[in-house]
Structure 1
Amino acid sequence: MSTFVEVFGTEPDGVWQAPGRVNLIGEHTDYNDGLVLPIALPNRMVVTASARDDGTFAVASTVLDGVVEFSLDSLQPGSVEDWAAYPAGAAWILREAGYEIGGANLLVDSDIPFGAGLSSSAALLCATLVALLGLRDIEVDPAEVARLAQRAENQYVGAPVGLMDQMASMCCTEGHALYFDIRAMTTDQIPFDPAADGLGLLVIDVKAPHRHADGEYAARRQSCEEAAAQLGVPALRAVEFDRLDDALARLSDDVVRRRVRHVVTEIRRVEDAVELMRAGRLREVGPLFTGSHVSMRDDFEITVPELDVAVDTALAAGALGARMTGGGFGGCIIALVEETAEDQVFAAVEKAFAEHGFTPPTSLAATPSPGASRLS
């Protein structure tokens, strides 16, 4: 693993980090003005940095050979590609927003599993943004940094992402879940400390390739937008849970009806989870996880066999609840388990995957962790 001095020949000015995230519940409600409930993971994207005054950026990774260089003045969407597009996008959006950031040397390191749906891209953008701002002693509200990160990914990288991942990376706090109301653009810190109740939150990466994910994401979003237009509402958040049956009866397409049912019931599950967590009744959140997975499997149709086997096996092995987390079509599941049963649940999933001929899964413990910060 390369060090900053080995790559750039100078000592760094500082080290900054931003975490990956997992969403407890509220999947695919973000672009419907809904509610989400993520936590930050202990897994981090770390950027070691030094300032330059020549307007040049040099970025490198501890796990890849070579240094990518670009000038701030020449940055345009598409001018830097592959993984370096994310730090380039961070520099570009800060320039577009009017911040004087000069140039920088950046060395990126990470222990966030790649391709697992744990928001490594948002973490890389947020870590780079806080590093570039920190090098110049520029203070910016964390939520504004999250919005800059979203704009960079939308406008520079070209990915039509929402704001949940960036808000989680910037605004989560230790021992809490972030209750993010996207319509109101408000946040609340909800106590979430499973270990205090003898529980664990187990994340299992099913190692399934994201099959046709981009086109499927777009199709789901289009279905939701079409449904909102037919119902005469700005977004599906406006469909009241108690009036859901009436709304569904007004839709002629069964696929669209099922998409709407997932979004509206998922928003209610977030509300119910928050109420239970505030009351300290964490074990009762488990069935909401499971109900969410069933809805994503049957109504939103975004699971794959590896995710379904992992959830079913975890539940059979004693998990209090389990669900797919992330965009779907691959990625991870989360399981709420008794702390003493974590090894048993994961061993059962490993055995089931071997029997199905799936790629062996991996796991990590999801401890609710703090958001982005300076490390040194």
Structure 2
Amino acid sequence: MTAARWVVPAEERTVADTAEALFRSTFGGAADGVWAAPGRVNLIGEHVDYAGGLVLPFALPYVTVVAVRVRDDGILHAVSTHTGESWRGALADVAPGHPSGWAAYVAGVAWALRRSGLLTAGTGFEVAVHSTVPVGSGLSSSAALECAFALAVADLAGLPTDESGRRPLIDASIRAENEIAGASTGGMDQSVAMLARPGHALLLDCRDGASRHVPLDFRSAGARLVVVDTNAPHRLVDGQYGNRRAAVEKACADLGVATLRDVADADAAVAALSSPAAQRARHVLGEIGRVREVADLLDRGRIADLGDALNRSHASLRDDYEVSSVELDSAVDAAVEAGAWGARMTGGGFGGSAIALVPLDRVDAVTENIVRRAESASLPTPQFLSAEPSGSAHRL
């Protein structure tokens, strides 16, 4: 059997050095500065952000770094170590679907900031990108890129970057992903990338943007949260994510509410809907309740009691929302079988990552069983990531 592989977070300075070296080799000279933003994992609260729900993510110690220099001709020229490709174009020509691929997340942020009046028309940028957030893992590599660049633009433009000043940057990053990249995501990923605090999860109300930091210390409870990257491709732009969002919007229209948060009687609401909107609504309403349950347990320091809610979340995502996959189900089942307190898929689904809450003395057994189950089913070999709650986007 293949040994369990852990992806160790690189030192931020090492990541920054790589981005700066790419910048110098591509553009000559030094960048005006270097900024970093984290990937994230969602402890619970999946597929409810666009339904006005509650979510409970935290930042990971894996970051995307951008080295940036201002130019005065309205041109964006961006390069990345991930693909080895570059994109160069006029920001005035950025539009839905153009550019495509990873460049959309950079150009889209500049486009959104221009449209909101926070960036002048003649300003352009040279950008070099290096990331340790696994791409395609469901750990929000796209939001990390958006938020690192948005913070860079704000700093270079002399805009406020305290918590209130970050709200317009969050909005611009969401618009970049929704309107330019064409991914119908909610605002959870960008919010936690901009607002996270070390040692805490972010309880975010996606209806009004209110948030509070909830202490989160797994080791004090004798536990570890293991992130399982299944290495199954995670794609949000193939229509499936948008279909789920459309079903939630139809449920709202049928029930006559602005968001499913406005539903007073969950059972009656689900009974009034037809399939598949009924199943989608049942997941959303149940998941919002599970977020409240987990936040309450964390407030009382009862980390060891989170497992049942995680298990119920996965079952709902698998059966009612139908966004799991054979790779995710294999990882979750294997984790629980080997002694995890609870496990579930995390992120948009259709591949990507799962999480498992594991007693410290069972970590090796759990990771080995996950690998064993994947290999016996001829699935991709998973890898494992550290899930220490980390800080938000910042300048290095």
Whether these two folds match at TM > 0.5 is: yes
| CA–CA distance in structure 2, aligned partners of residues 154 and 254 of structure 1 | 27
Instruction: Name which of 104, 112, 118 aligns with 2:125.
Output: 104
Q: Deviations over 1:117-160 (max 9, x none)?
A: 11111111111111122223322412221111011222222222
Question: Greater CA deviation, 133-142 or 320-329?
Answer: 133-142
Instruction: Name which of 302, 305, 327 aligns with 1:284.
Output: 305
- Is 1:338 the counterpart of 2:362? The answer is no
Structure 1 runs of 4+ with >6 Å offset: none
**8 Å contact kept, 1:213–1:329:** no
Equivalent residue, structure 1, for 2:14: none
State the 1:81 CA deviation.
2.7
| CA–CA distance in structure 2, aligned partners of residues 42 and 358 of structure 1 | 27
Equivalent residue, structure 2, for 1:189: 213
- Is 1:224 the counterpart of 2:224? The answer is no
- Is 1:121 the counterpart of 2:142? The answer is yes
SS in 1 for 2:79: strand
Please give the residue correspondences for 1:186-265 in structure 2 after superposition, counting only pairs within 5 Å: 186-210=210-234, 214-240=238-264, 243-251=265-273, 253-265=274-286
Letter of the structure 2 residue corresponding to residue 349 of structure 1: I
Question: Greater CA deviation, 143-152 or 36-45?
Answer: 143-152
User: CA separation of 1:9/1:323 partners in 2, compared to 1, >3 Å: closer, same or farther?
Assistant: same
SS in 2 for 1:82: coil
Give aligned-pair identity as a percent: 45
**8 Å contact kept, 2:98–2:180:** no
Provide structure 2 residue ranges, at least 5 long, that are not aligned to the other structure: 1-17
- Is 1:82 the counterpart of 2:104? The answer is no
Equivalent residue, structure 1, for 2:89: 70
Equivalent residue, structure 2, for 1:95: 114
Letter of the structure 1 residue corresponding to residue 224 of structure 2: G
Equivalent residue, structure 2, for 1:35: 54
**8 Å contact kept, 2:78–2:88:** yes
| CA–CA distance in structure 1, aligned partners of residues 242 and 88 of structure 2 | 33
Equivalent residue, structure 2, for 1:168: 192
- Kindly tell me the number of residue pairs found equivalent between the two proteins: 372
TM-score (norm 1): 0.93
User: CA separation of 1:296/1:78 partners in 2, compared to 1, >3 Å: closer, same or farther?
Assistant: closer
| CA–CA distance in structure 1, aligned partners of residues 270 and 180 of structure 2 | 38
Instruction: Name which of 302, 317, 332 aligns with 2:338.
Output: 317
| CA–CA distance in structure 2, aligned partners of residues 211 and 168 of structure 1 | 21
| CA–CA distance in structure 1, aligned partners of residues 224 and 191 of structure 2 | 24
Letter of the structure 1 residue corresponding to residue 31 of structure 2: P
TM-score (norm 2): 0.89
SS in 2 for 1:287: helix
Q: Deviations over 1:145-191 (max 9, x none)?
A: 11110112222222222111110111111111111111122011111
Question: Greater CA deviation, 336-345 or 279-288?
Answer: 336-345
User: CA separation of 1:214/1:340 partners in 2, compared to 1, >3 Å: closer, same or farther?
Assistant: same
| CA–CA distance in structure 2, aligned partners of residues 341 and 223 of structure 1 | 39
Provide structure 1 residue ranges, at least 5 long, that are not aligned to the other structure: none
User: CA separation of 1:226/1:42 partners in 2, compared to 1, >3 Å: closer, same or farther?
Assistant: same
Give the superposed CA RMSD.
1.9
Equivalent residue, structure 2, for 1:302: 323
